[in-house]
Structure formats: C-alpha cells, structure tokens
Amino acid sequence: MRTRRTTVATLTATALLGSGLALTASPAYAAPAPSCVKTRVYNTASDYTVQVRNACDRAVRVKIVMRLGRDSKCTTLRKGQYLYHRTTGLQTWKETVTC
C-alpha cells in the first residue's frame, strides 16, 4: 500500500509541475521608499498623475506601484529630481518603493 501512495503522490506532483500549477517562489519584496522621497497624487477628470520627488541627499532608485495597472519602470532620481507617472482609467497609486 505504501508503494501505491508514493506512486500517486509522484504522479500528482508531476501533473502539477507539468500544468504550471505548482507553487513558485514569490519575487523579492521591494522596500518602501525612504521618507525623503515625496509622493503626490493628482486626480483630474481626464487622467491620474503620480509625482515623486527626491528630497534625499543622495540618488535613489524608485518605482511607482499601481493598483489595477502597470507600474512605472525602476528609475534613478538624483537629488531634487522628479518622476511623473500618468495614467487613465481605473489605475490608482498603491506605493512608491525602492528597486
């Protein structure tokens, strides 16, 4: 009986791996941007704009994470530099993270 259970478990695992349903490791969690990185959101009737400003004393790499939409690319901001991410539709700002 033990051999049958092992065979069934092996076949089940093989089927899951073959179908792509097996659990995979999640990507590394991106840390929130430091407090010196300032984010503002502008919501108008025609679009939704996220503005990120680097008020840090050094360059930082940031990414704007959106709900229900495409995130921004990872971008290096020098001290005092701005990043804008403009969208339309249902997308809203979720968080600004380091990358």
What pTM was estimated for this model as a whole?
A: 0.68
Predicted pLDDT at 45? 85
pLDDT tens track for 38-76: 999 999 888 999 999 999 999 999 999 999 989 999 999
Stated as kind and residue range, the H or E segment containing 94 is strand 92-98
Contact between 52 and 38 (Cβ < 8 Å): yes
Query: In sequence order, which ranges of 2-47 are alpha helices (DSSP H)?
Result: 2-19
